Chains A and B, each alone.
Chain A
């Protein structure tokens, strides 16, 4: 009964995880319905359903989906399996921890890929989104994104103690990540220091690669660097996720391993930050930025356009009302100027504001 070169149980366990993902209503909702909800909210609310505008939103939306499903869906299921002692039962069988982690990761990548395909397909069908580069390149980048982030979700799941604390931990990482990576606000429009931070974050390179394919239509050559970064992230994350894996809730995270893993992750992210400037991730303001600016100047500062023009803020899930509370009831132009692109004037400005990024 040997399954060839595959470890015993891997195929069946992967299948079990896949069946679970496609049968569980919760899983179906969060993996498939939720990204679509965001697509429609953004496309209609922010881009008026205009194909070019929706296209510019897609890199952020794809990234949001990948990060959300990895950090919430993937990690929660691991935590739930551990809390419900499903993993404990597996532990008493000959199946190994690596097999369980690999099956979980493999199935999660497939589910995430399916969710992204559905999202892309719907965007193409409903909003006639276009891809400036090749569709094959787009699929490669999306897959690389899934491969990079699913293991990070598994690491998070192994480190989080219980389902009670899981959402707090996830959100504490999710929102800053989405912000600094440029998934919510175009990277070029972020304040300089945020860009500096963003260079340490793998998600930034995912957004960048997606923009390169979808907006700028760049070739494989230009995608080499971000794709390698994503695949390396997946490799490092995959190794660490198997290493930090816990069968049982009562079994504490191994401190030595945690320290070593933090060191490895730290070195890796530092490497990213160091390497980042050599990769041209801060592009000149593209049509999206112009469009946002265009919309802001065209629309009167009423409630409806506030929601629309403040779309970047909406991407951040910052309620416009909250921003009012923080910044005071400023005129919309000033407000968006503050949040979206402080001092945003044009191409030169953006470049100046990201020193070192085009070294």
Chain B
């Protein structure tokens, strides 16, 4: 596998502000990489350096083996870009905008194919001002795809969209994977990155603080898992405690435990119930999610997964108790 993107010690300063600090990054061809981080973490700065829109203050950067800052047309043929905010000439129709962008590339994708891909066939005659937010993002995506790019860089493709527009863009973006195409996208949404990406990079204050597949990141998290157990009698959880779990109150018929080693806890739970001749009626396990990992890294706090047992069965009092328990966890953690 060849590296599509390679940076070494990449840094960017704006006056006194350091936007990026020594980023070392290698992205292989064919991967879908998500860049996560809060506002001001340096996501956009990083992708704009890769797009050749900004010059780094330090370090090296290469995209397809070339310096994106050179502005070479040959390199730009291979990269499709969706900017965080894309403006089009507002007197042109969707059709005319696509034709305009097609004229920029050596071997552009057919217009019909682009319209089909992004689902704007019904809007060919509309001007950008007449499109909804989601449709405008689709148009921006279509212009990013015009040159049949090997590398697609999408800067917050779903920002500001309602859930259904976001979901349909997710489907669309997933459909763009394959054919050895590399996709780099930035997002605020952990669930979006989890759904779309096979590799996630987390940026905090210009530094890369996490890098791995969604599963790897969650596995490496320090956060605790929660286990909810429902049995047909009185249970003595002492063996669980010995295995490192902590009892964390009860919710309805469920007894709750916290543990950093959920696999071990489940194993112990099985033997324990057999020994106590109890039957397991229900079991829920909640691992720390990517969002917990994210919050843990960004806030530097010890985030714990929030329970999501069915709340509709709970009375208001129990809900309040749960909140209190949650607060308590926050303090003890």
Binding site for B on A (CB under 8 A): 1-3, 8-9, 11-13, 16, 19-20, 23-24, 81, 84-86, 88-96, 248
Contacts and interface: CB of A to CB of B under 8 A. Distances in A.
Contacts of B74: 94
A8 B104 contact: yes
B17 interface: no
Nearest to A87: B87
Interface stretch (B91-99, B186-194, B232-240, B295-303): B91-99
B53 interface: yes
Given A2-B106, A9-B104, A91-B53, 19 more contacts: A1-B107, A8-B104, A9-B100, A9-B103, A13-B103, A16-B100, A20-B92, A24-B91, A86-B87, A89-B83, A89-B88, A91-B52, A92-B52, A92-B76, A92-B81, A94-B73, A94-B74, A95-B73, A95-B104
Contact of A19 (B79, B96, B104): B96
Given A23-B91, A86-B89, A12 B100 contact: yes
30 contacts: A1-B105, A1-B108, A9-B103, A9-B104, A12-B99, A12-B100, A19-B96, A23-B91, A24-B91, A84-B87, A86-B88, A86-B89, A89-B81, A89-B83, A89-B87, A90-B104, A91-B52, A92-B51, A92-B52, A92-B53, A92-B76, A92-B79, A92-B81, A93-B105, A93-B147, A94-B74, A94-B77, A94-B106, A95-B104, A96-B73
A24 to B, nearest CB: 5
Contact of A89 (B92, B105, B108, B143): B143
Contact of B101 (A2, A24, A88, A93): A93
Q: A-B pairs with the 9 shortest C-beta distances?
A: A12-B103, A94-B73, A92-B81, A23-B91, A93-B104, A95-B104, A94-B76, A84-B87, A20-B91
B96 A85 contact: no
Contacts of B76: 92-94
A78 to B, nearest CB: 13
Given A88-B53, A93-B147, A20 B89 contact: yes
B83 A88 contact: yes
Contacts of B87: 84-86, 88-89
B144 to A, nearest CB: 9
B85 interface: yes
A41 to B, nearest CB: 29
A3 B102 CA distance: 12
Nearest to B74: A94
Contact of B103 (A11, A91, A92): A11
Contacts of A91: 52-53, 71
A73 B226 CA distance: 65
Between B51, B91, B143, the greatest number of chain A beta carbons within 10 A of the residue's beta carbon is seen for B91
A12 to B, nearest CB: 3
Contacts, number: 79
Nearest to A81: B89
Nearest to B71: A91
A90 B53 CA distance: 11
A49 B74 CA distance: 60
B67 to A, nearest CB: 15
A81 B96 CA distance: 17
Contacts of B276: none
Contacts of B108: 1
B130 to A, nearest CB: 14
A16 B143 CA distance: 15
Nearest to A85: B87
Interface string B312-326: 000000000000000
Contacts of A20: 89, 91-92
A15 B212 CA distance: 47
Contacts of A88: 53, 83, 87
A23 B96 CA distance: 13
A20 B71 CA distance: 27
Contacts of B168: none
B57 interface: no
Nearest to B93: A19
A3 B103 CA distance: 9
B86 interface: yes
A206 B77 CA distance: 43
A2 B106 CA distance: 7
B103 A8 contact: yes
Contacts of A84: 87
Contacts of A90: 104
Between B86, B89, B105, the greatest number of chain A beta carbons within 10 A of the residue's beta carbon is seen for B89
Interface string B102-132: 1111111000000000000000000000000
B126 to A, nearest CB: 14
Nearest to A89: B86
A16 B91 CA distance: 9
Contacts of B107: 1
B53 A94 contact: no
B96 A16 contact: yes
Contacts of A89: 81, 83, 86-88, 143
